[in-house]
Copies of this chain bind each other. A is one copy, B any other.
Amino acid sequence: MARSLVFLGGGPESLSFLPQKERVFGYLPGFYKIFPTMKRIGLVGATGAVGLEVQKLIKQLKLPYKELRLLASQKSGGVETTCGFVQELIPDSFNGLDVAIFSAGADISQKFAPEAVKRGCIVIDNSAAFRQKPEVPLIIPEINASDLKNHRGIISNPNCCTTIALMALAPLHQAFGLSRFFASTYQAVSGTGLAAIKELDSQIRAWSANQELIPSVYPAPIAFNVIPKVEDFSESGYTQEENKMLFESRKILHLPQLSVSSTCVRVPVFRCHSIAINAEFEKPIDLPTAKKALLDFSGLEFLENQLPMPSLSSEKTSCFVGRLRKDSAFCNGLSLWVVGDQLWKGAALNALQILSLL
């Protein structure tokens, strides 16, 4: 089993008994150090689904900081979370901050990330606002941490499905050279946000009380249903979410010719995205080498006699991969199934890992 993020009760000083490379975030290849020097951290979107998970992780991991400034829209100003009171986001909110994690949607990132950078604050952005910009690194620390060195103040956190898919595909790419993959996703409602979590919850309760299921966030009831559309359609017929899987995989893996086709689907699951993948490689594949590559990859757990499932993956720092088999429709291909907590590795955790690398 690959080394995974260590949860410990104590503060960073309690990690000193661990070998250097085992400390918190220390499994990141090449970055064998504990959470970096105390920083002044801003959190934009502090009351959203991802913002709350960032705070949960900071508390659970007892990550040290000089300041944690919670920021959100005017309507959330004054709200208290487990980490303190939320302030209304204004351009001057970033004064004196070292780094800010943005999890409030692309519009807010577009508007406020440049304000943060102007004030000397590095931005780690969870939205899609800057991912396509060549000068903005798009980072999964286990895969392309070295791309960080070129950042100019903004670093993008990849799309959650892309991150979870690539956590399984990157080690196989290293072994065999990835040329193409097909992906079908099974995405949890928490990826849409808190309102969608409430929508599934209230539909389930309505159903148990023999009441009607009323959709509001989604175009149809999500309880007992699957909805084959995540985000808006682009001209090609693929959705924005599906386009991200193509574009971001190419950027992160440094494979501009990579072929990707995906279908992104919302399912009535609260947390953790699952992805069925058929992948084609340049070199002949063999299963023992593939298994070893998956077993050895940091942040990934290969399950041989167990099924990766959302029910087992919630609030786990690793992604889980299984159902590995030679693909029957590719010459050099593998079929696999990967599950990850999209609020953690797909968002909050990956952002904190990037922060730990700065």
Q: For A246, list chain B residues within 8 Å (CB).
A: 328
Contact A309 B227 (CB under 8 A): yes
In the complex, what residues of B have CB within 8 A of residue A274's CB? 226, 228, 265
A119 within 8 A of partner (CB): no
Complex interface: chain B residues within 8 A of A237 (CB): 323-326, 335
Minimum CB–CB distance from A30 to chain B (whole Å) comes to: 32
Chain B contacts for A337, CB-based, 8 A: 228, 263
**Considering only CB atoms, which chain B residue lies closest to A270 in the complex?**
B224
B307–A228 contact, CB under 8 A?
yes
User: For the complex, what is the distance from the CA of A220 to the CA of B184, rounded to whole Å?
Assistant: 21
Q: In the complex, what's the smallest C-beta–C-beta distance from A31 to chain B, in angstroms?
A: 33
Q: Is A14 an interface residue (CB 8 A)?
A: no
Known: A220-B312, A265-B276. 17 other contacts (CB 8 A): A181-B329, A184-B276, A186-B226, A204-B204, A208-B208, A220-B307, A224-B268, A224-B269, A225-B311, A226-B274, A228-B309, A229-B307, A237-B335, A259-B329, A261-B333, A263-B278, A267-B267
Give the one of A184, A227, A238, A265 with max B CB within 10 A.
A184
Does A77 make an interface contact (CB < 8 A)?
Answer: no
* Chain B, residue nearest A336 (CB): B263
A65 at interface by CB-CB < 8 Å: no
- Contact residue among B229, B261, B309, B329 (Cβ-Cβ distance under 8 Å from A328): B261
Evaluate contact between B182 and A309: CB separation under 8 angstroms: no
Please state the number of chain copies in the assembly.
2
Chain B, Cβ-Cβ closest to A188: B224
Q: Judging by beta carbons under 8 Å apart, are A186 and B260 in contact?
A: no
Q: Is A82 an interface residue (CB 8 A)?
A: no
A308 touching B269, Cβ below 8 Å: no
Q: Are A221 and B311 in contact (CB under 8 A)?
A: yes
**Residue A59 interfacial (CB < 8 Å):** no
Shortest C-beta distance, A273 to chain B (Å), equals 10
Say yes or no for A236: interface residue by CB 8 A criterion: yes
User: Least Cβ distance of A319 to chain B in Å?
Assistant: 14
A184's contact among B209, B263, B325, by CB below 8 Å, is which?
Answer: B263
CA distance A146 to B302 in the complex (A): 47
Residues of B within 8 A of A205 (CB): 208
Instruction: Type the 1/0 row for A170-199, where 1 means its CB is closer than 8 Å to any CB of B.
Output: 000000000011101010000000000000
With contact pairs A204-B207, A328-B238 given, residues A311 and B220 touching in the complex (Cβ less than 8 Å) = yes
**A222-244 near B? 1/0 per residue, CB < 8 Å:** 00111111000000111000000
Among A303-354, those with CB < 8 Å from B are 307-312, 322-330, 333, 335, 337
